[in-house]
Structure 1
């Protein structure tokens, strides 16, 4: 399958990928255009995820590329970022589903799992025969998860008993396992657990009436005396630093997803302006419209450059928390501006989901918030700049 450069990749960054990486992206793009795009609007309106596509997503090889147990070919972090971009430029909800499955769940197993845990779970996550979710955020603890975690785990013999609640957990109502982060009630350490969703005491209730990422099945989770064996405790997760190691990887991919959302909105806006006729000619010929499109393309191009470099740093083992935090904060902030400009050039039609820009405009709000707000990520960068922590 031939990879065709995107017109929205104005400086041609994708040319630096390997032939195998571009061929894989071409396959992913074809899947998103042929299988996902025709069904997303109906599912978006119904708050429903196209679960019938999950096995096909597994067959695409979009999960597990970072780990030797499941990588289909040698690939780079830059390529894995482009995967998130390609998916998000068609639909951010499907990209978020894979972001949870791949970055947060498989990523947690890859970073903190024992060899036995990796061998058992990574292949099943990679082919999507097991769906995962990531339970960190709580009803009263989001940005302050490092200090404010209230879910507890206590050791009883060869088992752990987990009590608490989680909120905004993507994929939770369709998941087979959830990675749960909890404080050891004896030591205060933050530990990670693989919790099967069939475990007694575990329940997940879908969050209704969202205006953003409506297809993603976010849920409230309750853990009431949930018992898991020591074998399901993540052996390399022994403090919040280990949680942060996972988030460092996924924040950079959220930045890539933000670029994809920008691209999707921009491409839809360009199509609209070339077809929409006012005052006897397409509005694409109007100066003010061209100014907004040019500014949008500038934000896209600058954000790709930032994402490429932060992913290269990951490949070279030079990426730190502040690097991924800056990429996430910058790209999602620019995304908000781009989707707003693209909605603007579509006029009144820009608020109707019959025109794709409206969906990208709404979905952008969730990407702007999750995996750390822009403000919290700015404080991570500020600490790196000044050596002083401004966290309350």
Structure 2
């Protein structure tokens, strides 16, 4: 049977890609006349199979899809201006924070030099000024946590808890005194609610007391786990009024007599965040520095509801950072002669990580939409905090797993996310407390003690 012309052309095309040096090496190992004779006897289908086999892996390097944790392209829901701001924050985090984060995390120190650079983004207080939506505020938190949860937490304390308390519960005079400087990060704030022996039971169990004496208040007690406390210029301190037993808020200025703070050491998570133990011993606060509209824990809860939504976004950022780092690693790391991302079990881990991450992202987008619409309730924020922080733990665990032993090294970033996820899981209300808030809403019964 005569060999078709097209078959000869395919054989010639196959051989013309081999240079003379390669051909010489081949001639030393095989009988080229016999090879040519065998090629001539092949039909088109057989020759096509040989061509595919011999050219596999040649030519241009296979183009891989981008490493992107936004699988449903939720960023497309943003306006052009919002998308530009998202990318601006991402650029800042990747160029200013990523190169230094592991060093500062290991040393448990704060990179104060980045504060003026962060201020230049002009994002602090954006929702209060009406510059952007709560959805955008969440996106900013996610972008920060995607690189480092500590910087995201620092910003959340400043922009959410401290400024949020003053904006929501302060008098006009208090807002004018503090908020402009805080927006520019020239004034740093902190939020003191948790105590050494009181965390979840803060609503009715605060031991820090406030006593009205003339035109002043005298505060006594301790606060623990207070982020930014070691260098804050103003601290929102929550204390129980001994006269009416109601929780009230006070703006305690840095250096006030009777106020002292000790840095907490030996944390395994959020090591860049400077948490402090605050001691108040007959600390005097002027009546003008009492938060004007904070008269009970219900008022405190308004601030916590607002910021709890932000923590859910922060959990998403932590999970996204871990997933994207792990995905990039598995595409580069080779075992048995090929990238581990090509193995079935690795792909299964990656898909489960992405599934949880995508569910988390869609949840927080809707959560912040409710907030923008004025429909946010405690239970909405709580269920998002429960689900997202819980799923984050699973995602960072899988990220560490697919990276093997390298997953516990700081240089690969995922170890930091694994540790930081534990702090996110517990702060702004534990899983149990937030679950009970949701449980009360859906059953009509309160299971709180």
Matched position secondary structure for 1:56:
helix
Instruction: Describe the superposition over 1:43-85 as per-residue Cα deviations: whole angstroms up to 9, x where unpaired.
Output: 01100010111122122123101213xx5x3x11111000000
Among 364, 385, 388, the residue aligned to 1:307: 364
* Contact persistence 2:319–2:357 (CA under 8 A): yes
Q: Which runs of 5+ in 1 are unaligned?
A: none
Q: 2:83 maps to which residue?
A: 22
Q: 2:157 maps to which residue?
A: 100
* Contact persistence 1:62–1:98 (CA under 8 A): no
Task: Identify the range of structure 1 (22-31 vs 379-388) with the bigger mean alpha-carbon deviation.
Answer: 22-31
Higher CA-based Rg: 2
- The whole-number CA distance in structure 2 between the counterparts of 1:361 and 1:115 is 42
* Contact persistence 2:67–2:324 (CA under 8 A): no
Q: 1:380 maps to which residue?
A: 437
* Contact persistence 2:67–2:328 (CA under 8 A): no
Q: 2:428 maps to which residue?
A: 371
Q: 1:318 maps to which residue?
A: 375
What is the alpha-carbon root mean square deviation over aligned residues?
1.0
- The whole-number CA distance in structure 2 between the counterparts of 1:6 and 1:183 is 50
Among 284, 293, 296, the residue aligned to 1:236: 293
Q: Determine whether 1:221 maps to 2:282.
A: no
Q: 2:133 maps to which residue?
A: 76
Instruction: Report runs of 4+ in structure 1 exceeding 4 Å deviation.
Output: none
1:6–1:22 distance in 2 versus 1, CA, 3 Å: farther
Instruction: Describe the superposition over 1:311-365 as per-residue Cα deviations: whole angstroms up to 9, x where unpaired.
Output: 1111111110000000101000000000000000001111111211111111110
Structure 1-normalised TM-score? Answer: 0.97
- The whole-number CA distance in structure 1 between the counterparts of 2:281 and 2:115 is 30
Tell me: higher relative CO, structure 1 or 2? Use CA pairs within 8 A at least 6 residues apart: 1
* Contact persistence 1:181–1:193 (CA under 8 A): yes
1:16 CA displacement: 1.1
Q: 2:103 maps to which residue?
A: 42
Q: Which runs of 5+ in 2 are unaligned?
A: 1-65
Matched position secondary structure for 1:155:
strand
1:1-392 pair list within 5 angstroms: 7-68=68-129, 71=130, 73=131, 75-392=132-449
Matched position secondary structure for 1:174:
coil
Instruction: Describe the superposition over 1:153-198 as per-residue Cα deviations: whole angstroms up to 9, x where unpaired.
Output: 1111111111110000001001111100001111111100110121
1:374 CA displacement: 0.8
How many residues were matched structurally? 384
1:6–1:389 distance in 2 versus 1, CA, 3 Å: farther
Matched position secondary structure for 2:390:
helix
Q: 2:55 maps to which residue?
A: none
Matched position secondary structure for 1:27:
helix
Structure 2-normalised TM-score? Answer: 0.84
* Contact persistence 1:100–1:133 (CA under 8 A): yes
